Structure 1
Amino acid sequence: MKFKPVPPAPDEFEFVERAQRAVPLVPDTEADCCARLVGRLDLSARDDARTWLTFLRALELVTETPSGFRRTETTPTVPDCRAALLGRVVAAEAVHDTLGSEPLTADEAFEAVREQVPTWERHSDPSWEAAWRERVAALLDWFVLLDTAERVGDGRFRSR
Structure 2
Amino acid sequence: MKFKVLPEPAASVESVAEMQAAVPLVPDGETSCCARLMRRTDVAAQDAAKEWLTFLRALELVEETEGQYRRLPLEADPERLRGAFRERVYLAEEVLSVLSAVEEPIGVEAVFERLEDRVPQWERLRHTDEAGVWRERVRRLLEWAVVLSLAERADGGYVAA
With structure 1 as the length reference, what TM-score do the two structures score? 0.96
Q: Structure 1: which 5+ residue stretches go unaligned?
A: none
Q: How many residues align?
A: 159
Per-residue displacement from partner, 1:11-41 (whole Å, max 9, x unpaired)? 1211100000000000000000000111111
The ranges of structure 1 where at least 4 consecutive aligned residues each deviate by more than 6 angstroms after the TM superposition are none
Per-residue displacement from partner, 1:44-69 (whole Å, max 9, x unpaired)? 21000000000000000000123610
Identity of aligned residues (%): 45
Alignment of 1:45-64 (within 5 A): 45-64=45-64
CA contact (8 A) 2:59 2:81 kept: yes
Q: Secondary structure at the match of 1:158?
A: strand
Give 2:116's aligned residue.
114
Give 1:138's aligned residue.
140
Alignment of 1:1-16 (within 5 A): 1-16=1-16
| Aligned-partner Cα distance in 2 for 1:124–1:52 | 22
Q: Secondary structure at the match of 2:28?
A: coil
With structure 2 as the length reference, what TM-score do the two structures score? 0.95
Give 2:155's aligned residue.
153
CA contact (8 A) 2:3 2:58 kept: yes
Cα RMSD for the two superposed structures: 1.0
Give 1:75's aligned residue.
75
CA contact (8 A) 1:82 1:146 kept: yes
Give 2:98's aligned residue.
98
